[in-house]
A and B are shown apart, each in its own frame.
Chain A
Amino acid sequence: MFDSLSARFSSAFSSLRSRGKISAADLDATYAEIRQALLESDVALEVVETFIAQVTEKSTQVLSTIQSGSNQASAIFDVVNSSLVEILGGSARRVRFSKNPPTVIMLAGLQGAGKTTLAGKLAKFYADQGNTPLLVAADLQRPNAVTQLQVVGESINIPVFAPEAGNGIGNPVKTAKAGVEFAKAKQYNMVIVDTAGRLGIDAELMKEASDIRDAVKPDEILFVVDAMIGQDAVRTSQAFLNGVGFDGVVLTKLDGDARGGAALSIASLTKRPIMFASTGEKLSDFDIFYPERMASRILGMGDVATLAEQAKKAFDSDKSAKLEAKFASGEDFTLEDFLDQLSAMSKMGSMSKLMGMLPGGGQMKQLTKGANFDESEIVRTKAIIQSMTPRERQEPKVLNGSRRARIALGAGLKVSDVNNLVDRFSAAQKMMRQIRNGGVPAGMAGMGMPAMAPKPANIPPKKKSKSGNPAKRALEESQ
């Protein structure tokens, strides 16, 4: 039940890959597996069936020209991948800017899809690119939706046009129209109109949305949809398409563990591209939707492109350059550098989120029982380093027993935790020296994530412990 789409795809394809030559029965089994996987991720049955038929036809053509089994497997994989990308929207489309500003963007969707938060994210995204957006509070239905938009606007320094208090009072059509007029007069180059959430089957509210549309003549109507939506995505998106019409789709809450299904159904049935993806609680957790990345993610190939981008954002380029220079000049990697890297890593997001983006990460997650990585391990490691003096961070050699005991006290941890870190760190340092000197390190263990590093019991002692070993002594003293 909990198998993610990518895990199922991965297993379907790995069983294919292990075959010498692929038989018709192998193919049928694989398609059955893909069908089940798509259904479990909420893709509508009609879309699943069209997809499978399409893929079957294409791969039959391709297979006849290929002899070896493993090439066949990768050919099928390519067919599935390219079909997914095709349905998900080919290449990402950008918002069409109006020749006569302001460019008007109207948001529509079900209650709770995340429109108001998204309005803020969209405004920030375009303001960061040098535009001057104005937010218009035309959700006068939900209690305090107007206040929510005002708070959001304030936090990102974007003005909010909100003449009506909302909570059921005021005319949203007039508000939206006045908002656009206001933007024109004040020369904002973009207007984002937040509207009330509504059900696809509510004719009256749907009419109100189309009245807003007619009043503001938006350049883009974006349909905001929760990535967790089930089979109702079909009816709802159709109802919005017929009722208000929309030019693009925004998927929200993609940082959850539901993924793919709704996107595939909506894109395939409405033929509208998915333009943006919303991926977190912070107003900066927002990006253009990349069909190739989504398809890769669905197929368990990981989302390395996104990961690399996040890394670039999180790692301070100055610091990285300094670290590289330092490394090249023969200086040692210090605990201070390690701390910087840990901080940058925590900025990129939770380990489990990062894991999901790595190739095979889906399966790796399963190996670890789908459990979270022990995120607190990073916090603990940082606490230990932060409890050290600058000198200790530069020269871990000075860490004698009493220093270690003090650090453990400062970090609120045991002396053995401090010892572990120092041991792992010296192993990593040694390995980096080897790399620099052109040698190949004996084993990669010891480096990398603290949580993944082997337990100290697995590391053979490097030297016979001398009497007065600070680590040992501190441990004894603490007991």
Chain B
Amino acid sequence: MGIFSKFIAKIKGENAFAPSDWQDLERELLASDIGPTLTQSLLDSAHKVKSENAQEALKATLTSYLSTQSRAPITNPEGMTVVMVVGVNGTGKTTSVAKLASNIKSSGSAVVVAAGDTFRAAAVEQLQTWGSRIDVEVVSGKPNGDPASVAFDAVKRAAQSQAQYLIIDTAGRLHNKSDLMAELEKVKRVVEKVAPVSEVLLTIDATTGQNGMAQAKLFAESVSVTGIILTKLDGSARGGIALAIESELNIPIKWVGTGESEADFAVFNASEYIEGLLA
């Protein structure tokens, strides 16, 4: 039984909770990475809760911080759906691109992926290995080539092969590097000359702390992020920063990555996530 459940059990019974219980609860909430601000706000709510359904009440409070945006994938009704996957280095973009492609393919749609990470050594090969593993076409350019031109060519290639989806992988970049963010904006702009970008997915590593907020904010400003892929949720990290992002920036988590195989990928489930935060 998690510390949170223990705490709830105490509220349910005698209301006999000591200051040390509150400290334990604070510790537990902070440990989930939701951040000190949300933690304080939750503690305030917890102080007001009296009743049998304390656990439900707190879950409801947490749930109320979630984004109100739809979590359904955005598609292009008039033609090929173009999805860009963006994020900081090492958050799992390439793996997520492969998983997403595999997911779309198994639902019966034709999908092509573009190896737009021309910067990191062997990133293109990494995606190609994935491509042959999941049997999806990978369009690539030259190493250190212009990522915008790879993406542009990929749109044409995908259209030729009558794909319904094109997923563009991009190089990892730190959100505070304005030149790299400008490059990303250019990729999107160039693609949009030939096809609208329906969805921009940002990978957030579940182990990320409060910096995840800055990442989401700056990527959203640059390329209008439409959803989050919360990666590496299979570890001991609970990914609480995503809740803070949902609450503050109203960007919905759409997908969750939980492992190294293409099957370790699922649509975001709000109640599982919230329960995980309190585990």
Interfacial residues, chain A to chain B (CB-CB below 8 A): 1-2, 36, 39-42, 44-46, 110-114, 116-117, 141-145, 147-152, 155, 167, 199-201, 226, 228-236, 239, 253, 255-258, 261-262, 281, 350, 352, 372, 375
Contact = CB atoms under 8 A, between A and B. Distances in A.
A176 B206 CA distance: 30
Contact of B176 (A114, A235, A257): A257
Contacts of A230: 33, 207-210, 212, 237, 240-241
B1 interface: no
B90 interface: yes
A258 B122 contact: no
A377 B51 CA distance: 62
B15 interface: no
20 contacts: A41-B210, A42-B210, A110-B235, A111-B92, A113-B90, A143-B125, A143-B133, A145-B126, A148-B120, A230-B209, A231-B31, A233-B207, A233-B209, A236-B207, A236-B235, A236-B237, A256-B88, A256-B211, A258-B209, A375-B179
Contact of B235 (A39, A151, A200): A200
A352 B181 CA distance: 14
Contacts of B141: none
A461 to B, nearest CB: 35
A236 B236 contact: yes
Contacts of B130: 143
B18 interface: no
Interface in B183-215: 205-214
Given A228-B211, A236-B235, A350 B179 contact: yes
Given A40-B35, A111-B92, A201-B236, A258 B210 contact: yes
Given A40-B35, A352-B178, 15 more contacts: A1-B248, A39-B35, A42-B33, A42-B209, A112-B89, A144-B122, A144-B129, A145-B122, A147-B121, A148-B122, A199-B234, A199-B235, A236-B235, A256-B175, A258-B211
A255 B174 contact: yes
Contacts of A152: 121
Interface string B89-104: 1111000000000000
B273 interface: no
Given A42-B211, A148-B122, A231-B30, A200 B90 contact: no
B30 A45 contact: yes
A110 B234 CA distance: 12
Given A232-B33, A253-B89, A350-B179, A151 B121 contact: yes
Q: Which of B32, B33, B209 has the most CB of A within 10 A?
A: B209
Interface in B16-32: 26-27, 30-32
B232 interface: yes
Q: Which of A149, A231, A235, A352 has the most CB of B within 10 A?
A: A231
Given A141-B260, A148-B120, A257-B214, A228 B125 contact: no
Contacts of B209: 41-42, 228-231, 233, 258, 261-262
B92 A148 contact: no
A293 B188 CA distance: 39
A45 B213 CA distance: 19
Contact of B125 (A2, A144, A253): A144
Contacts of A350: 177-179
Nearest to B39: A39
A229 B208 contact: yes
Given A143-B130, A151-B121, A199-B235, A45 B90 contact: no
Contacts of A142: 126
Contacts of B235: 110, 199-201, 232, 236
B174 A253 contact: yes
A230 to B, nearest CB: 3
Contact of B88 (A39, A117, A228, A236): A228
A230 B209 CA distance: 3
B64 interface: no
A18 B27 CA distance: 34
Contacts of B92: 111-112
A226 B217 CA distance: 20
Given A235-B236, A253-B90, A39 B176 contact: no
B122 A1 contact: no
A256 B88 CA distance: 9
Contacts of A281: 119
Nearest to A372: B178
A155 B122 CA distance: 12
Contacts of A117: 120
B126 to A, nearest CB: 4
B220 to A, nearest CB: 13
A125 to B, nearest CB: 18
A144 B126 contact: yes
A281 B178 CA distance: 14
